[in-house]
Amino acid sequence: EIVLTQSPATLSLSPGERATLSCRASQSVSRYLAWYQQKPGQAPRVLIYDASNRATGIPARFSGSGSGTDFTLTISSLEPEDFAVYYCQQRSNWPLTFGGGTEVEI
Amino acid sequence: QVQLVESGGGLVKPGGSLRLSCAVSGLSFSDTYMSWIRQAPGKGLEWVSYINKGSSQRIYADSVNGRFTISRDNAKNSLYLQMNSLRVEDTAVYYCARARGAGLGGYFDIWGQGALVTVSS
């Protein structure tokens, strides 16, 4: 099973600041990595798929990079609605796995 | 408007069974790959199971393999998860989700609102 390790667990920032979230895989997942945002009481929403492709309707302030084992989600300038938990997910191998999440808090 | 609506959640005793349903509308369900994903209270996301368009490929997480069965009825635009021999650790919100992307598994671009399953004596 591919283990995804997200860091940091919590990121304390202010609106307007830049957020950099990391996801490290225990073995190469090529570019088969997605990022999700989840707010309390809501289902997750896909932000980025295949490492760097923004999903439909996702603002340009969200960007993804990386390949192999190291990936980054960047939020260029935090908006109030961006404070949430973010998960990465790989689809390179069965079983599909998620990272433990990074909470972006004010 | 695309909608995935789960139903069938509830309280069940350890060792019991439950069947979740996911009604899909607004898209061509028979052309859609689907998965179930769960989230224990206050915890992260865990992928549970995947089914391809024609039901010929069904994949399970080790934690549910042999106890859960995923199925679909393309004529009814519905996805199912039969859960048997339930354990306390199966307590979670269960989401159905559309899987996209060529190749293995997919990423999940459309999610239902979730159904809460509580396993407790």
Averaged pLDDT of chain B: 96
Query: Tell me, what's the pLDDT at A91?
Result: 96
* B102 has pLDDT over 80: no
Query: Tell me, what's the pLDDT at B52?
Result: 93
Give the residue from chain A lying closest to B61, CA to CA.
A95
Q: Tokens 């949430």 — which residue?
A: A84
Task: Answer yes or no: do B109 and A46 touch at CB < 8 A.
Answer: yes
Q: Please, are residues B21 and B80 in contact by the beta-carbon 8 Å criterion?
A: yes
What percent of chain A is predicted at pLDDT more than 70?
100
Q: What residue type is assigned to position B41 of the chain? A: P
Inform me whether the C-beta atom of residue A35 falls under 8 Å from chain B C-beta atoms: no
* A29 has pLDDT over 90: yes
Nearest 10 degrees: Cα torsion B4, B6, A48, B60: -120
Averaged pLDDT of chain A: 97
Query: Tell me, what's the pLDDT at B105?
Result: 79
Task: Answer yes or no: do A49 and B59 touch at CB < 8 A.
Answer: no
Task: Answer yes or no: do B111 and A43 touch at CB < 8 A.
Answer: yes
Task: Answer yes or no: do A92 and B104 touch at CB < 8 A.
Answer: yes
| pLDDT tens profile B51-91 | 999 999 999 999 999 999 999 999 999 999 999 999 999 99
Q: Which residues sit opposite A3 in a β-bridge? A: none
CA distance A53 to chain B (A): 12
Q: Which of B34, B45, B109, B116 to mutate to test the interface with A (most CBs of A within 10 A)?
A: B45
CA distance B104 to chain A (A): 6
| pLDDT tens profile A62-101 | 999 999 999 999 999 999 999 999 999 999 999 999 999 9
Query: Tell me, what's the pLDDT at B3?
Result: 96
Nearest 10 degrees: Cα torsion A43, A25, A48, A53: -160
Query: Tell me, what's the pLDDT at B101?
Result: 80
Q: Please, are residues B48 and B61 in contact by the beta-carbon 8 Å criterion?
A: yes
Give the closest of A32, A43, A94 to B95, CB-based.
A43
* B25 has pLDDT over 80: yes
